[in-house]
Chains A and B, each alone.
Chain A
């Protein structure tokens, strides 16, 4: 809640500042905000760049979350042994979470440079999830449109609120 009170205060201050500014200043502000944005990395193996980019998308899509922090699950691309080990570890963490259920107000986000791989992890982890176990929980999938439907269908029985963000 603290984070949301702070975000609300920042948003209000920004709105007041903008209304008092000239168009020129607006443009300058927009330009500097743009500069602070992390752009989508071209290289799928730029892990640090991708993590920053995906977490930025996550932070812009926290609406409705009442918990203090989201839970981000970042899926590693590639088929190296290291990537496989990381994703197996990630899958088992998510499966444990799904088996336990999640308290209302939380937000779980799934993302990775390889949208299909992220979607596979979500679909596997949510297979057999208890009906209604994610009521009032938001599940955010950051990926490609092509994978949206199967992820949405996989989480549907849990009662979670599904949110898709194009990466």
Chain B
């Protein structure tokens, strides 16, 4: 599953720099997560970093984007392959 931000978000921007996949950005009214980029932090961390840092606990798993650990791992590998070489 990718994660989803609820409308109780206070636009504090704390989650955005914590995301290793640059999946979080400011949407029209509050912050949003791009499901194409969110791996639930698989490949980077043991737990979703945005959930760890969000002070209002308004980030949940998104039932509309259900993915297994293997699918998330594959997404992580694909994202890494797309990264420009340093």
- Residues of A at under 8 Å CB distance from B? 2-3, 48, 51-52, 54-55, 58-59, 67-74, 86, 90, 93, 109
- Establish whether residues B10 and A58, one from each chain, have CB atoms under 8 Å apart when the complex forms: yes
B7 within 8 A of A: yes
Q: Count contacts between A and B, CB distance < 8 Å.
A: 46
B17-A55 in contact (CB<8A)? no
Q: Which listed residue, B9, B11, B29, B55, touches A48 by the CB 8 Å rule?
A: B55
- Do B13 and A59 have beta carbons less than 8 Å apart? no
- Cross-chain contact of A69 among B7, B13, B53, B55 (Cβ < 8 A): B7
Q: Are A51 and B53 in contact (CB under 8 A)?
A: yes
Residues of A close to B13: CB separation below 8 A: 72-74, 90, 93
Structural contact, A68 and B7, CB atoms closer than 8 A:
yes
Q: How far is the CA of A131 from the CA of B12 in the complex (A)?
A: 26
- Which chain A positions have C-beta within 8 A of B68? none
Q: What are 8 A-B pairs at a CB distance below 8 A?
A: A55-B55, A55-B56, A68-B7, A69-B10, A69-B11, A72-B11, A72-B13, A74-B12
